[in-house]
Amino acid sequence: MKDKPPLPIRDRGGSFKINNPDDESPIKEMFTLSDGLLMITEKCTYRMQMADQIDPERKNPQLPPNLQQKLFDHGTKSKLLCRTLLQAKVMFRKEFQSVDINKALQLSFDALCDLVSMEETAKAFKTAEQVAIDKTQNHEKQDASITIPAVGNVRGNCKSFFQKANHFTVSLINIVRLFYPEMKHKHWGDFQGLVKGQYGEIDNFYRLMELAVPFLKLIRNTRDCLEHINLAGVETRDFELQPDGTIAPPTIEIDFRESSQKCCSISSFMEVVTQEMQICFEMIVVHMCSKNMQPFAGMPMTVGALSDDYQNSWHVRFAYGLYYPDGKFIPCG
Is residue 130 within a helix (H) or strand (E), and if so which, with residue range?
A: helix 101-137
Average pLDDT, integer, range 270-297:
95
User: Which position has the higher pLDDT, 218 or 135?
Assistant: 218
Question: What's the confidence (pLDDT) of residue 19?
Answer: 77
Q: Is the pLDDT of residue 14 over 60?
A: no
Task: Give the strand pairing for 36-41 and 27-33.
Answer: antiparallel
Residue 282 carries which side chain, given as an amino acid letter?
E
What integer best gives the mean pLDDT of the chain? 90
Average pLDDT, integer, range 220-229:
88
**Residue 11 DSSP code:** G
Could you give the 3-state DSSP secondary structure of residue 217? helix
Q: What's the CA gap between 127 and 120, in Å, rounded?
A: 10
User: Which position has the higher pLDDT, 147 or 283?
Assistant: 283
Q: List residues bridging with 322 in a β-sheet.
A: 330
Question: What's the confidence (pLDDT) of residue 304?
Answer: 96
Average pLDDT, integer, range 10-32:
79
Q: What's the CA gap between 257 and 217, in Å, rounded?
A: 9
pLDDT band, residue 329 (cuts 50/70/90): very high
pLDDT band, residue 8 (cuts 50/70/90): low
* Nearest CA-CA partner of 102 in 88, 112, 113, 114: 88
pLDDT per residue as tens digits for the range 28-77: 999 999 878 899 999 999 998 776 667 677 777 777 767 888 999 999 99
Average pLDDT, integer, range 251-270:
94
Maximum distance among all Cα pairs of the chain, rounded to whole angstroms: 91
Contact in structure between 31 and 39 (CB atoms under 8 Å): no
pLDDT per residue as tens digits for the range 114-161: 999 999 999 999 999 999 998 887 766 666 678 889 999 999 999 999
pLDDT band, residue 110 (cuts 50/70/90): very high
- Dihedral sign computed on CA atoms, order 258, 260, 266, 269: negative
Q: List residues bridging with 47 in a β-sheet.
A: 38, 69
Q: Is the pLDDT of residue 199 over 90?
A: yes
Long-range contacts, 308-311 (Cβ 8 Å, 24+): none
Question: What's the confidence (pLDDT) of residue 325?
Answer: 86
Q: Is the pLDDT of residue 18 over 90?
A: no
Count of alpha carbons within 13 angstroms of residue 11, beta-carbon side = 7
Q: Which residues contact 77 (CB under 8 A, 6 or more apart)?
A: 42, 43
Question: What's the confidence (pLDDT) of residue 1?
Answer: 47
pLDDT band, residue 4 (cuts 50/70/90): low
Average pLDDT, integer, range 273-280:
97
Q: Is the pLDDT of residue 310 over 80?
A: yes
Q: What's the CA gap between 130 and 55, in Å, rounded?
A: 48
Average pLDDT, integer, range 239-255:
92
Q: Is the pLDDT of residue 183 over 50?
A: yes
Average pLDDT, integer, range 100-111:
97
In the chain, domain spans: 9-72, 79-137+147-294, 302-333
Report CA Rg, the chain. 25
